[in-house]
Structure 1
């Protein structure tokens, strides 16, 4: 039912500059460590890691992790005729759907992802709330029967208008 319904609104969010900078800073350190210890033979620190550990860390945190985080990770939000669909690639293999029949109320909000959920990404808090956010502090709060879901967006007005327009047709 869900995957064949018409898409009224679609937003794709990717990591922002601050995350890029942190990941690239960490990757730069890994490359420096690798070049110093493996290429030049200069051990890093007072108790240097064995070369094999250096190579493993370099591959994971100097190559794989930055490519994964900066090239693959994205949050896709869609409003369709029957509800709101979320997919946090690569963590969700299919869309998480919130059908209008299950949504009691929704509203556009400004919130602190750090205070309310402890950060960005797929997050849960002690109040039983779930957040899907990539960056920023704007979102749509969905009140469901048993929990609350916050979906971060860079286009809160457009997302709210899309939800309103589909709700009027139901």
Structure 2
């Protein structure tokens, strides 16, 4: 069994400093509450929740939220005749985009907040977007649906790989 050719592969994660400040700030509230109330025996707040509930919240929000954002990733692969995009954990299997359905494509610089309302899996007036950070990517135009933007830290390489993948026989 031969390996399938991969022309381009990129895995991105959330790298924005401000996002991590918010996520870790929210988690820190639960860390402080857990340590103060459960471990040190004090009462955290005016109407403290029972220790069991606080422990569950600590695990879910104090540990789970940062872990969730740490593990979240956008994987883009280009193969002959195909682009695959997987936004983990929201896509169990990669979304496959056959290149014969793509009318045209271009490398773009965009405004994540202005054009799509932020980062992640986004829908906006300019179509759908998969992006994690930055403001560059490749926009795919289809014959029968709205455009799709794939954000990339290596947009030039992604554009070149899609160009090559369209020329190759599947």
TM over 0.5: yes
State how far apart, in whole Å, the 1-side matches of 2:111 and 2:78 are.
24
Root-mean-square deviation (CA, aligned residues, Å) is 1.9
Matches within 5 A, 1:94-113: 94-113=93-112
Shift in CA distance, 136/148, structure 1 to aligned 2, threshold 3 Å: same
Give the aligned partner of residue 128 of structure 2: 130
State how far apart, in whole Å, the 2-side matches of 1:53 and 1:80 are.
48
State how far apart, in whole Å, the 2-side matches of 1:43 and 1:110 are.
51
State how far apart, in whole Å, the 2-side matches of 1:109 and 1:12 are.
19
Structure 1 residues without counterparts, runs of 5 or longer: none
* Deviation, structure 1 residue 156: 0.6
Give the aligned partner of residue 147 of structure 1: 146
Give SS of 2:137's match.
strand
Give the aligned partner of residue 12 of structure 2: 13
State how far apart, in whole Å, the 2-side matches of 1:49 and 1:82 are.
56
Give the aligned partner of residue 30 of structure 1: 30
Deviates more, 1:44-53 or 1:72-81: 44-53
Matches within 5 A, 1:56-95: 56-70=56-70, 72-95=71-94
Give SS of 2:133's match.
coil
Q: So what's the TM-score if we normalise by structure 2?
A: 0.87
Question: Over residues 97-127 of structure 1, what are the superposed CA-to-partner deviations in whole Å (9 max), with x where a residue is unaligned?
Answer: 11111111111111122122222111123x3
* Deviation, structure 1 residue 166: 2.2
State how far apart, in whole Å, the 2-side matches of 1:77 and 1:22 are.
27
Question: Over residues 5-26 of structure 1, what are the superposed CA-to-partner deviations in whole Å (9 max), with x where a residue is unaligned?
Answer: 4210000111204233332222
Give SS of 1:139's match.
strand
* Deviation, structure 1 residue 43: 2.3
Structure 1 runs of 4+ with >3 Å offset? none
Structure 2 residues without counterparts, runs of 5 or longer: none
Give the aligned partner of residue 53 of structure 1: 53
